[in-house]
Amino acid sequence: MTAPAVLDDPLTQAVVERLTRPDYPAFEAQLRSSGYCAQPVRLQGRVEVCDGHGHRRQVWTTDSEPDGLLRKACGNRREAVCGPCAERYRGDAWQLIVAGLRGGKGIPESVIGHPAVFATLTAPGFGPVHAHLLGPDGTPLRCRPRRDRPVCQHGNALSCSRIHGPDDPCLGEPLCPDCFDYDGAVIWNNLLGELWRRTMIHLPRRMAKLAGMTQKRLHELVRVSYVKVAEYQHRGLVHLHALVRLDKRMPAYRADELRAPAKRFTVQVLEHALRAAVAHVSVKVPDELGAGTIGWGKQLDVEQLCTDEQQRPRRAGYLAKYTTKSTEQAGGLLRRITHAEVEHVSVSEHNRRYLKTGFTLDDRVTAAIAADPLPAPPPSPPRPAPATFEDPNDLALRIARAMSTDERVTVRTHLGAEYVGRIVRRTPDGFMLDTGAVVAVAEVRAITAAPLQPPKRDKRDRRLAACAHTYGHRGHCLTKSRHYSVRFKDLRQAREQHVHEQLLTNGDQTQRDLAELAPEQRIGSFEFVGVGHLTTADALLAAQAAARAREHRELARQALYDHHNRRREDRCETPQDHPRPA
C-alpha cells in the first residue's frame, strides 16, 4: 500500500518549511515574547548604546532575526481582533477590578469590608425590538406575543410570536425600522458619559438626605469609588455594569489610604441612594441635537456584595469579560469609517441606519457650529530664545522663567533623551516636570519652547462622525475613579519589572548587558513595516502555540486552586488529642 502524500497541501509544506529552518528557535522566541499575538506589529531597526560622551555603538539589529523583523504584540483589547492580546488585557482588568473588592496589588485586604454594590444600568426604550426572553425557571418565552396583533402607522406588525434563540441574527432588530428612534438612540449613547457623571454627583446628595445630614458634612465623611464597564446590547444601545464602593474620606495628605466608612453608612444606604439617584438624574440634550433631556431606563438591577470570598471575584470576572467586547455583539464594526463607506460595509440594515444617523447628526452639529463660531483666541506671546549648557547662568534663568510662567518646554539631554512638559518644582540637582520626569541640570543640553499645541476642539462638537462605528458612544469600555484600585499602568510596570529581572537572571550575555544599562543609555531606532504574520503558516503556528500556552495556564491555575483548597481543608480539620505524658 502506498503511503498518502501528506505534504501535498501547500499549508502543510509551508509549516514544515518553517519548522525545519535553522532560525526556528529564534522565531518561536519572538512569538513567545509577543504573547503569540495574532496580529503582530512588524518592525525593523536597531538598538544602540551611548557611552555618555555622544558616541554610539550598535549592539543589536533586526538583520540577524528571522525574516529580518521584530514582532511586537499589537495590544488590541478586542477579542474579535486578537485573542491573545485580549486575554492579557482581560487578565489585567480582572486584577484591577478584584483588587478594589478584596485587596491586593497594593490595596489593603480590609477593603473587603467596605460597603459595595454591583449595579446594572440600562438604556430606555427607543422602539420595540426582537428579544431573547426567558421565564423565571429558564424556559424560553415568545418574543412579543399580542392577541390583537397591533400594526404601526407604517403597516408593520408590532407583535412577534416566535421564540428566538440566543444566537438568532434578528435579535435587536426593530419590529418597525421607521418607528425606531435612531436619533434618540445615538444621542443617548453619545451622552452616556455625562449621564454617569451626573449620577455620581447625585449619589452623595441622596446619601446625605438618607443619613439626615448636609452634603458638606457627608463629603467630609464618605468618598464614593467605582469601576464601570460598558456592554453593547443587541439593539445597539450601551448599558453599564458598575461596582460602587464607599470609603472613608481621608485628609488630602493621606488621600491614598483606604479606610472603611462609619458604620451608619451601610450597604443598604448605598443601594437606596443609588436607586434614587438613577431614578431622578437627567442630562440636557444640546440644542444642536434637538434639545430635551435623557435619563436611565426602567430596568435597574442592584446587588449588595457581602464579604464572601467567592462572590466578589465572580463579579470581577463578569466585568472583565466585557472589557474585550465591542460593537461586534450588536453586529457592528471594529474600525472607524467614512461617510462614503457606509453603503459598502457588510452590516445589517439596522446597523447601517445607526451609521447613517451618526453622520447625519454630525453634519447638523457642524452646521450649527459654523453658524455660531467661537471667538478667535488671542495671539500667542513671543517665544523665549533657547538656552544651552554652554551658558549655565542663562540655563538657570530659563528654568526659573519657565516655572514662573507655567510654560511648556522641551528639554534635551546629552544622552539624546527628550522631555516635553511644564517644570513644576526644583530638586537638589535639577528639576521635575509635570509628567513625572526628573532631570539633573548637569544632564541638560538645551531647553527650548515646546511645539505649539493645536487649537482646542469646540466643546459643542460631539465627535459623532468619528464615533459612528460605535453608534455614538465616546467613552472607553472600562473606567474607574482615582482611588478605587490600581491602574493599568501599575500592572504593566510590574510586568515590565518582572521581565527585566528575568533578563538579568536567565538572559544571554547581550540581554544582560542591555538590561543593566540605564534607559537613557539604550537608544532604539525602529520603523514600521506592517501588521500581521507574513504567511498563513506563521499564523497557524502562532495560534497553535497560543492554544498550548492557554491550556498550560489553565492547568497551572487549577493546580494552584486545588492546592489552596487542600490547605484550607487541612486547617479546618479537628486536631487529634494526644495523650499527655505521665
For the segment 343-366, the average pLDDT, to the nearest whole number, is: 94
Q: What is the pLDDT of residues 29-75, one digit of tens each?
A: 999 999 999 999 999 999 888 876 667 888 889 999 999 999 999 99
The answer on pLDDT for 383 being more than 60 is yes
Look over the chain and give the mean of its residue pLDDT values, rounded to a whole number: 90
Q: Strand 522-531 vs strand 41-50: parallel, antiparallel, or unpaired?
A: antiparallel
Taking only the tens place, the pLDDT of each residue in 289-303 is 988 999 999 999 999
In whole angstroms, give the CA distance from residue 311 to residue 125: 31
Q: What is the pLDDT of residue 507?
A: 82
Encode pLDDT of 103-115 as tens digits: 999 999 999 999 9
C-alpha distances in Å from residue 542, one per residue of 276, 328, 480: 51, 24, 34
Whole-angstrom distance, CA of residue 248 vs CA of residue 253: 14
pLDDT of 385 reads 86
Closest by CA position to 382, among listed 407, 413, 354 = 407
**297: number of Cβ within 10 Å:** 15
Band (pLDDT 50/70/90 cuts) for residue 581 is very low
For the chain, give the percent of residues with pLDDT over 90.
Answer: 67
What Cα–Cα distance (Å) separates residue 356 from each residue in 183, 235, 341, 475? 10, 16, 10, 20
- Which of 12, 66, 25, 16 lies closest to 533 in space, CA to CA? 66
Give residue 388's identity as a one-letter amino acid code.
T
Torsions phi, psi for 363 (to 5 deg)? -60, -35
Q: Does domain 387-449 have CATH number 2.40.33.10?
A: no
Report the alpha-carbon distance of residue 263 to residue 248 in Å, rounded.
10
- For residue 522, pLDDT beyond 90: no
pLDDT value at position 454? 80
Of residues 310 and 209, more confidence is placed in 209
Q: What is the pLDDT of residue 524?
A: 87
Q: What does the angle CA 164 – CA 169 – CA 171 come to, to the nearest 5 degrees?
A: 55
- Band of pLDDT at residue 331, cut at 50, 70 and 90: confident
- Structure confidence at residue 459 (pLDDT): 87
Tell whether the model's pLDDT for residue 82 goes beyond 90.
yes
The pLDDT score that the predictor gives to residue 114 is 95
Confidence at 568, pLDDT banded by 50, 70, 90: low
Rounded to the nearest 5 degrees, what angle is found at the Cα of 557, between the Cα atoms of 552 and 561?
150
Query: pLDDT at residue 23 above 80?
Result: yes
Other C-beta atoms within 10 Å of 242: how many?
22
Query: Once rounded to an integer, what is the mean pLDDT over residues 316-334?
Result: 90
What is the Cα–Cα distance from 31 to 11, expressed in whole angstroms?
Answer: 19
- Which cell numbers in the block locate residue 518? 540605564
The number of beta carbons lying within 10 Å of the beta carbon of residue 341 is 14
Residue with cell 458604620: 263
Q: Where are the domains of the chain?
A: 23-74+489-562, 83-126+181-370, 387-449
What is the identity of the amino acid at 572?
Answer: C
118-127, 237-246, 311-320, range with the lowest pLDDT? 311-320
Euclidean distance between the first and the last CA atom of the chain, given in angstroms as a whole number: 84
